[in-house]
Structure 1
Amino acid sequence: MTDEHRIRQLFPSFEPDLVNVMVEKAETREYREGQMMMRTGQHFRSTMLILEGLIKVYREDEEGNEFFMYYLQPGQACALSMICATRQQTSQIMARAVTDTVILSIPLEWMDKWMTQYKTWYHFVLESYRARFEELLVTIDHIAFRNMDERLLFYLKKQQETSKSNLLSISITDIAGDLNSSREVISRLLKKLSDRGYIRMDKNILEIIRLDFKPVD
Structure 2
Amino acid sequence: MTDSLLTEKYNHILDEQVLNEIAEIGIFKTFQKDDIIIDINQPLKHIPLLLSGNIKILREDEHGNELLIYFLEAGETCTMSLTCCMGTTKSKIRAVAEQNSSLVMIPVQYMEKWFHENASWRNFILESYQTRFDEMLEAIDNLAFIKMHERLLKYLINKTVLHGSNTIIVKHQDIAIDLNTSRVVISRLLKQLENENKIKLSRNKIEIL
Q: TM-score, normalised by structure 1?
A: 0.92
Aligned positions, number = 208
Q: CA deviation at 1:2?
A: 4.3
The residue number in structure 1 matching 2:87 is 87
Whether 1:7 and 2:11 are equivalent positions in the alignment is: no
Task: Give SS of 1:111's match.
Answer: helix
The residue number in structure 2 matching 1:99 is 99
2:47 and 2:152 map into 1 onto residues whose CA distance is: 31
Query: Cα deviations across residues 98-152 of structure 1 (Å, max 9, x unaligned)?
Result: 2221111000111111112210000000011111111111111011111111111
The residue number in structure 2 matching 1:155 is 155
Q: CA deviation at 1:63?
A: 2.4
Task: Give SS of 1:192's match.
Answer: helix
8 Å contact kept, 1:8–1:14? no
Task: Give SS of 1:96's match.
Answer: strand
1:207 and 1:188 map into 2 onto residues whose CA distance is: 16
Task: Give SS of 1:67's match.
Answer: strand
Whether 1:45 and 2:45 are equivalent positions in the alignment is: yes
Instruction: Kindly report which structure 2 residues correspond to 1:172-211, keeping only aligned pairs within 5 A, or say none.
Output: 172-209=172-209
Identity of aligned residues (%): 37
Letter in 2 for 1:142: N
The residue number in structure 2 matching 1:61 is 61
Whether 1:129 and 2:129 are equivalent positions in the alignment is: yes
1:77 and 1:2 map into 2 onto residues whose CA distance is: 16
8 Å contact kept, 2:2–2:28? no
The residue number in structure 2 matching 1:31 is 31
Task: Give SS of 2:201's match.
Answer: strand
Task: Give SS of 2:63's match.
Answer: coil
2:34 and 2:27 map into 1 onto residues whose CA distance is: 21
The residue number in structure 2 matching 1:214 is none
In structure 2, runs of 5+ residues without a counterpart are none
Q: CA deviation at 1:184?
A: 1.3
1:175 and 1:43 map into 2 onto residues whose CA distance is: 28
Whether 1:72 and 2:68 are equivalent positions in the alignment is: no
8 Å contact kept, 2:199–2:208? yes
Query: Cα deviations across residues 143-179 of structure 1 (Å, max 9, x unaligned)?
Result: 1111111111111121122112100101111111111
Letter in 1 for 2:63: E
2:33 and 2:195 map into 1 onto residues whose CA distance is: 33
Letter in 2 for 1:79: T
Letter in 2 for 1:19: L
Task: Give SS of 1:95's match.
Answer: strand
8 Å contact kept, 2:54–2:101? yes
Letter in 1 for 2:154: F
